[in-house]
Structure 1
Amino acid sequence: MRSRILAPRLPVFGGRLHDARTATAVGRWLGAAFAVCFVTGLVSHYLQHPPPWLADALPARPVWGYRLTQGVHVATGLAAVVLLLVKLWTVYPRLFVWPPVRSVRHALERLSVAVLVAAAVFEVFTGLINNVQWYPWPFGFIQAHFAVAWIAFGSVLLHVAVKAPEIGAHWSRRSAGTAALPARDAADRRSLLLATGGAVGVVTLTTVGQAFTPLAATDLLAPRSPRHGPQGLPVNRSAAAAGVTLRGVTGWRLEVGGPRPYALTLPELRGLPGAAARLPIDCVEGWSVDAHWEGVRVRDLVERAGGRPGRSAARIVSLEARGSYRVMHMGAEYVADPLTLLALTLNGEPLSLDHGHPARIIAPNRPGVLQTKWVHRLEVL
């Protein structure tokens, strides 16, 4: 007697699910994610790399501004990975139609789609890899990601304009074009959309805790945890990576340049009127965490050197031997803000070397890469 092995019953999608209605439904979500990513990405880029005309006008408030925009940027970018894969799956049969070109108009349309797909894949892939600080390419991530973002956004607008009639025909269940689709597809389409929404929810829940600390316990897939790191704060760039050693900071002095230049040893700096602030470190990779900082207000140091708070900007120079952010420009709004500190302690303890000992910058609404560590010179501009 033959024994029969019962195979597990897997879900079967009998419908086509490659129709215009499904593509439109997923495309709405993907378009919204790309729009949010584009706007928040612009905020991030111009806070991190402001043009000269904007540098002194960037706002230091709200304190949580960059934390919110960059956290949303990374969260929607990760969600877009799922949505883009599903969107490509729904339309991939159309990418291989034959003949590939039927007319000049058709050729231009396919070319625009090729640019859109290439730019979208490039953006989500490079953004994902940047989150774990792995750069296997020869070009600069920031410059390329920013430039291709404009191409992707323009391609989306062009695609929507070209496909507007078809999108309108399949926008909702009651649209005219939807009536011609087989009824059996409706249940399968709902299953696909529910599964896609579930996948987006899982990705968000397991990563957003790196910025939204109430969900820190669920950040299973996040590259950084706000709970882990020296002095209770993660570190992206260690002292070893920056070429800074304890021997190198022996005899450290802060040099302040300006109309009335001066220099201060660490004990002298600690003897100045102090200030404290609770501010987050907001990293461009998406993690963020609050900490308690104590030090000296930057505006007090600038004023002592002859600068005018509210009118004077500053240039901050780090001890690190190499790095793209060794020299940092701080606009007048940040200099004047009373929460902008040259910090000497973190969470009640002197700064560790990895966190910028002897002194580092901490300012509100500012990317983490501009919170310069191992400060040794401050120049009033």
Structure 2
Amino acid sequence: MREGTFTSALHEPRTTVVVGRWLGAALLVCFLTGLLSHVLQQPPTWLRDHLPSHPVNGYRVTQGLHVISGIAAIPLLGAKLWTVYPNLFEWPPARSVLHALERLGIAILVSTMLVELFTGLLNILEWYPWPFPFRQTHFWLAWLATGGLLLHVAAKGPMIGQHWRRGSVPALRQRRAFLGVVTVAAIAVTVTTAGQTVPWLRRLTLFAPRRPDIGELGLPITRTAAQANTTVTPADWRLRVDGPQPYELTMAQLLALPQYDSHLPISCVEGWSASAHWSGVRVRDLLARAGAPPTARVRVTSLEANGPYRIMEMPAAYAQDPLTLLALRVNGRVLTADHGYPARIIAPNRPGVLQTKWVARLEVI
């Protein structure tokens, strides 16, 4: 490294440690809430039947925190890299085998974090300009980044401890100004995007890709009927319920059954959520009519011909919850094609991708 290069007084350990603490907190929240989201979408067999349907707003809160913390981590990661980037140009690049391994680990950690946050941001925008599946790749990159972060913290433990407390080194006016700018940047990106989940911040939602209170029937739409090729409902549509005593129902017969109301949020993995008034038939009543035991899971099949969530399995805790409906109306109006006409699932504490639209069949399993 040439003498006189990277001469800012802020390229020093205390600034790095302070920003690193904020970044570490954001990444920890992002990792834990993302792990929960993955478990809810694709639960392991041993956990599948133990997932709770309450609190009703559980997924809304955790997925909202996931996206909020991930967005806040972007300026924090940029600031953290700025404080340490002179080290990237050390010469010689490797002074020993151990030093080379340490630098390799840092390179993997930084690149993994950059890819993780970049792809996560594009997922919020529903733009996927890459050939690999997002959800699986995002999941495993999160483990790689978190493991690398823990190893990095362990390796730098003595230095972090030395500069953790205020007063461990002389105060710098430049440091205070820099940390103030970083704080404002993190707050700004949070406040201007969090309104897609946090209702009282909705008016400040300047940069989020959608407003949850704007859309057909008062709700946004992620996957349209045109995308799912379900704009036209078959004239002979029937809801088929398969179980020990299978049966079919027309729309008129469904409407003749006792109708119930649920005030539930629909919470999307992209980070937005919105509450709505749903009405329809309780799923547990439909299953009981088919002779299903209370411990039975249910497989829900959509009219959609393709799509990763065309078939969804619902554990008994959700299927038996009195708030879980085969919804026929939302906010006092009949479902439109984009919102899942003729019928859709709405259940508490579930990711939006599992609130199956255009339902054709319920199967006791």
The answer to whether the superposition gives a TM-score over 0.5 is yes
The 5 A counterparts of 1:96-175 are 96-175=89-168
Q: What is residue 214 of structure 1 aligned with on the other side? A: 200
Structure 1 partner of 2:224: 238
| 1:273-284 matched pairs, under 5 angstroms | 273-284=258-269
> C-alpha separation between the residues in 2 aligned to 1:219 and 1:287?
11
Match of 2:3 in 1: none
Aligned counterpart in structure 2 of residue 229 of structure 1, from 191, 212, 215: 215
Question: What is the aligned-residue RMSD (CA, Å)?
Answer: 1.2
Unaligned 5+ segments in structure 2 are 1-5
Counterpart Cα distance in 2 of 1:245 and 1:133 = 21
Once the two structures are superposed, the pairs formed by residues 1-381 of structure 1 within 5 Å of their partners are 15-175=8-168, 178-179=169-170, 186-246=172-232, 248-309=233-294, 311-381=295-365
- SS for the counterpart of 1:342 is strand
Structure 1 length-normalised TM: 0.93
Q: Return the alpha-carbon distance in structure 2 between the equivalents of residues 173 and 334 of structure 1.
A: 49
* TM-aligned CA deviation for residue 250 of structure 1: 2.2
Deviation at 1:31, TM superposition (A): 0.5
The answer to whether the 8 A contact 1:15-1:188 is kept is no
How much does 1:136 deviate?
0.6
Shift of 1:57: 1.3
CA distance in 1 between partners of 2:145 and 2:151 (Å): 10
Structure 1 unmatched ranges of 5 or more: 1-12
Whole-angstrom distance in 2 between the partners of 1:14 and 1:341: 63
Question: Radius of gyration: which is bigger?
Answer: 1
Contact map agreement 1:14 1:188 (CA 8 A) in 2: no
3-state DSSP of counterpart to 1:270: helix
For residues 373 and 53 of structure 1, what CA distance do their matches in structure 2 show?
A: 27
Q: Report if aligned partners of 1:233, 1:289 keep a CA contact under 8 Å in 2.
A: yes
User: In 2, are the aligned partners of 1:228 and 1:234 still within 8 Å (CA)?
Assistant: yes
Question: How far is the alpha carbon of 1:245 from its aligned partner?
Answer: 2.0
Query: Is the CA contact 1:313–1:331 (under 8 Å) kept in the aligned structure 2?
Result: yes
Which region of structure 1 is more displaced relative to structure 2, 111-120 or 344-353? 111-120
TM-score by length of 2: 0.97
In structure 2, give the amino acid aligned to 1:275. Answer: Y
SS at match of 1:322: coil
Q: Is the 8 A contact 1:226 1:289 kept in 2?
A: yes
Q: Secondary structure at the residue paired with 2:306?
A: coil
Specify the SS of the correspondent of 1:353.
Answer: coil
Identity %: 59
Letter in 1 for 2:236: G
State the secondary structure of the residue aligned to 2:338. helix
Q: Please tell me whether the aligned partners of residues 292 and 346 of structure 1 are also in contact (alpha carbons under 8 angstroms).
A: yes
Q: Give the letter aligned to residue 159 of structure 2.
A: E
Deviations 1:193-231 (A, max 9, x none): 111110111111111100111211111100111121100
Q: Distance in 2 between matches of 1:250 and 1:201?
A: 52
Count of equivalent residues:
360
